[in-house]
Amino acid sequence: MSKGKILVAGGTGYIGSHTVVDLIENGFDVVSADNYHNSKAGVLDGIEAITGVRVVNHTVDLADAEATAKLFEKHQFDGAIHFAAYKAVGESVDKPLEYFRNNLNSLLNVIDGLRRQGSSNLVFSSSCSVYGNADELPVRESTPRKPAESPYARTKQMGEDILYDFCAKHTDFQAVLLRYFNPAGAHPSGRIGEDAANPASNLVPVITEVGAGKREKLTVFGSDYDTRDGSAVRDYIHVSDLAHAHTLALQFLMEGRSTENPSLFNLGIGEGLTVLEVIHAFERVSGKSLNYEVGPRRAGDVVAVYADRTKASQELGWEPQYDVDDIMRTAWAWEEKR
């Protein structure tokens, strides 16, 4: 028996598609809505190969209120996971308005759709970028947010604030905010991975593309940070581990286990790695040496951020299964297959 019908907004994207797989494997019915802004329809074949289920994707621009309202006329949902957003930090500095318009309108429209049909249970994709240059490391959920370093990060802070205000008024509407650290890697089956329509800008896909000869070299953005080797520190988390946390978060909401509203969780491994350490993990796993050079800092980047994940472990029962070598191994297998 189905555990419920879930809208995955941004279901063909990178984290969305891995979450669709995890939801299906845990007994949920999934409906995806994605306009393929940064994904490809072929991912539905990959999901089907893994799960045996052909997921329906509605090609809807969720920032379009009317189109989103129509989607909610077609389905009665038991919950939703909101991934649909632009996500490139550097690009957001150049195109702030596009980021605010897309990331905030899509969230508002999904909240509205759920609310109008009397549904609740929303899981929102937030980001460790909301911490800015935090005063303490590792960051805990209680660590104060600092000013956003980029418009992207600000859209995530604002998305969180919207849900705080909305849930304060509508106390029967339950939400979870998940602050992702740096998702990377691909499904261990090799059937799905990051298949962005836009050129990759995140570290791990850039590394594998350079390794595969699709790009000439990697630029390490900054070597003068106050860190172990001068490059920036992040907490890299395998996308399948991250995906499973969404299933746990939905179950947590549907079973009425939350004691705050919204509930807030960090999703990272809890370990910080420098850019150079990630490059060396790739070299170790692939047996290739990577062509890279050191360049200037990138606008919008923070120095270091990694998670204290105690809360997600205690309240959601979430335990990551993969480490950085697994991340690089699965990312590399996926790259070679593409």
Least distance to ligand UD1 from the beta carbon of 139, Å? 10
- State the Cα–Cα distance between residues 272 and 269, nearest whole angstrom: 8
- State the Cα–Cα distance between residues 39 and 13, nearest whole angstrom: 5
- State the Cα–Cα distance between residues 38 and 12, nearest whole angstrom: 9
Least distance to ligand UD1 from the beta carbon of 232, Å? 3
- State the Cα–Cα distance between residues 127 and 266, nearest whole angstrom: 8
Of 71 and 178, the one with the shorter C-beta distance to ligand UD1 is 178
Of 65 and 93, the one with the shorter C-beta distance to ligand UD1 is 93
CA dihedral 282→284→289→290, nearest 10 degrees, is 20
Q: Angle of helix 275-286 relative to helix 203-211, nearest 10 degrees? A: 40
Q: Angle of helix 203-211 relative to helix 324-337, nearest 10 degrees? A: 50
Of 31 and 237, the one with the shorter C-beta distance to ligand UD1 is 237
Largest CA distance in the chain: 55
Active site residues: 152
Least distance to ligand UD1 from the beta carbon of 77, Å? 25
Of 33 and 220, the one with the shorter C-beta distance to ligand UD1 is 220
Least distance to ligand UD1 from the beta carbon of 71, Å? 25
Of 119 and 223, the one with the shorter C-beta distance to ligand UD1 is 223
For 89, residues 6+ apart whose C-beta sits below 8 A from its C-beta are 129, 149, 150, 152, 153, 201, 298, 300, 301
- State the Cα–Cα distance between residues 212 and 53, nearest whole angstrom: 31
Query: In the block, which residue shows the tokens 């004691």?
Result: 259
Q: Which residues bind ligand UD1 (CB under 6 A)?
A: 87-89, 127-129, 153, 180, 182, 201-203, 206, 218-221, 232, 234, 275, 298, 301-302, 305
